Amino acid sequence: MTTIAAFDARLVRVPLTRPWGADVTSVGVIATHVVRSDGAEGWGFSWTPQIGAEAVHALLTHDIAPAAIGSDADPEASWTTRWQHLHEAGGGGVTTIALAGLDLALWDAAARAAGEGISDHLGRRRDAVRAYGSGVNLHYALDELLAQVQRWIDAGFTAVKIKVGKPDLREDVERVAAVRELLGPDRSLMIDANQRWDLDRATTAIDALARFEPAWIEEPLRADDLAGHAELARRIEVPIAVGENLHTAHRFEEYLRAGAAQIVQPNIVRVGGITPFRRIARLAEEHGVPLHPHLLPELSGQLALTLDGDPWAEDVEDAGFADLGALVDAAPVAVAHGMLTVVPHDGLGLRFR
């Protein structure tokens, strides 16, 4: 059995070119490195915007690393055991974000040892996936928002996502109407409330915004509110997308069984890495629900190429790790004319400076 011979983690702060808000001017990356007993090396990472990076680093250093040394280096065979080991500190959230740091490094080592990129190593099913333009833009003035949407149109995106959830619903209506007019009828528009509404507010807001034909409403309620999402799904016709803040396959299954999500969006890091992400993808397939990975296109885009259906990759403006100068190597993916493709590389292709 190939085992883990060494593992380390370091915290890197990556400044954002365009802040996501007054309190989010950088993202925290915990860069990880694993050495297997056969000499193969792998590089991975955990990630969190602003909150919790130090806690994730501490878990990786003080709890995950000591338990990992000498254990099985097969990420699929060992993930559940490691999750059970950390469960006393919480079933998801900081614990699963930290677990991703080891899981991704192990998958990187496996793919590098095979001389493959991760999508080929897992079984690539297509050469390209559709990407949509996305931005953290609720704080943008309307003219700034429209300028961003125009950049996406000029870049060839056929779908875009904008934030909603202004205190005054009339302002949301004005902004969404202006974006829909700029996009025209043939491009897709998604809206994301980032958990800002309660059930009644969400019902009222979506009723007002439905005429602009959003492809989905993302995180209309607190992610913890399973019953609220199920009830909202009964009230509205716009598909509900959730997953950015669901942290385990168990939670995704609960949402799918309850009919509380018509689209799921697992964040590969927040759910604990590639291993649980693949389990969630199987659950989505079993329930006939589309899956579009959340954020991190340089990783999630590679995984999208391995999925059934028609997955989309989310390309957030000015947030790519390569664009921010955070990577040792060139980006492992390219986005052009609204499509994401892989650039030849080994493993994940994500080593942080």
The pLDDT assigned to 25 comes to: 85
| Catalytic position from the list 57, 161, 294, 345 | 294
Residue ranges of the chain that CATH labels 3.20.20.120: 119-342
Tens of pLDDT along 252-283? 999 999 999 999 999 999 999 999 999 999 99
The pLDDT assigned to 224 comes to: 94
Burial of 145 (0-12, 13-18, 19+ CB in 10 A): buried
Output the six-digit token pair for 241.
Answer: 């997308």
294 catalytic, yes or no?
yes
Pick the CATH number of 119-342 from 3.40.50.1820, 3.60.150.10, 3.40.630.40, 3.20.20.120: 3.20.20.120
Q: What pTM was computed for the model?
A: 0.96
The pLDDT assigned to 21 comes to: 77
Contact 160, 152 (CB under 8 A): yes
Neighbour tally for 101: CB within 10 Å = 30
Which portions of the chain are predicted below pLDDT 50? none
**What would be the CATH architecture of the domain defined by 4-113?**
2-Layer Sandwich (3.30)
Q: What is the spatial distance between Cα 254 and Cα 164, in angstroms, rounded to a whole number?
A: 26
**HSE (side-chain half, CA atoms, 13 Å) at 137:** 26
Tens of pLDDT along 137-190? 999 999 999 999 999 999 999 999 999 999 999 999 999 999 999 999 999 999
Residue ranges of the chain that CATH labels 3.30.390.10: 4-113
Neighbour tally for 77: CB within 10 Å = 12
The pLDDT assigned to 95 comes to: 97
The pLDDT assigned to 87 comes to: 94
The pLDDT assigned to 99 comes to: 98
163 catalytic, yes or no?
yes
| Catalytic position from the list 33, 121, 163, 292 | 163
The pLDDT assigned to 23 comes to: 80
